[in-house]
Amino acid sequence: MLIGVGLPATVPDTAGERITDWARQAERHGFSTLGVLDRLVYDNYDPLVALTAAAAVTHRIGLATTVLTAPYRNNTPLLAKQIASLDRIGGGRLTLGLAAGNRDDDFTASGVDPAARGKLLDTMLAELRETWRGERPGGAVGPAPQGELPLILGGTSAAAFRRAAQYGRGWIAGGSSPSGYRANADRVEAAWRRHGRTGRPHLMTLLYFSLGPRADRLAQRYLTDYYAFSGRAESIVTMALTELSRLRAAVTAYQDAGCDEIVFMPCDADPCQLDRLADAVL
């Protein structure tokens, strides 16, 4: 089981230097991956910019968009260039996580029809590959990624599972119970077989954590604000791992459910959170 950690790039009022300090500290601890979330209409850093900052101050730790909402970024050659530039700066450490997204206001702000996001994502997946291979009309857009870019797809629709099997190295969940996770992983693996894929998909999940004296309060404050749009903020707060015993039990449960890598997303940007998480699970 690989254990990654998210950058606090979506925690409001996080100073820029905290992003780079956090990245260095995560690498020193030995986490597998630095993840990052994506929102547009929110007080957060752009995920590609945040990961590029992390790439510039680290050398070994993986970098992952967990996940990037591609369809509202409606200039595929530009997005291809940004992603490949990040991968080059990071020395080929990027795993590209993509999904269709579920925030209508992000699409509205971008002038993109949210009802078209699934079809847009399918088109963009094909166009990203063509761009990196130099096959798009209008001239070559460089650079290309340093190597074959690992692609992870998110979402729990039949189309999302199909995209993971058709285009990806695997699938990432945005949070669920271990039993719900296993049920969706079964659907991913079934789609994998239908598309004639060999081996098995790389299965990932995101889990929120907050540890220490004010853990519950910090998780509630951040997650209530971040998920205010969803109508599910209260239930998401209850899923945050705020006790060491629950956090360790979650690692075991997700491992038993077939998960290959957990990326723990912070609810607070205090670097003590990294220390506490590392002590608990590494």
Which domain CATH number covers 100? Answer: 3.20.20.30
* Residues 181 and 253: beta-carbon distance below 8 Å: no
End-to-end CA distance of the chain: 10
Q: How many domains does the chain have?
A: 1
Which one, of 80, 68, 224, lies nearest residue 155 by Cα? 68
Q: How many CA atoms lie within 13 A of 224 on its CB side?
A: 7
pLDDT of amino acid 202: 98
* Residues 110 and 75: beta-carbon distance below 8 Å: no
Question: Which pTM does this prediction carry?
Answer: 0.97
Q: Which residues contact 178 (CB under 8 A, 6 or more apart)?
A: 250, 253, 254, 256, 257
pLDDT of amino acid 262: 98
Instruction: Categorise residue 92: left if φ over 0, alpha if ψ from -120 to 50, beta otherwise.
Output: left
Domain that holds residue 97: 2-281
Q: Which two tokens stand for residue 158?
A: 């039949």
Instruction: Categorise residue 229: left if φ over 0, alpha if ψ from -120 to 50, beta otherwise.
Output: alpha
Q: Which residues of the chain have pLDDT under 70?
A: none
The pLDDT tens digits for 13-54 are 999 999 999 999 999 999 999 999 999 999 999 999 999 999
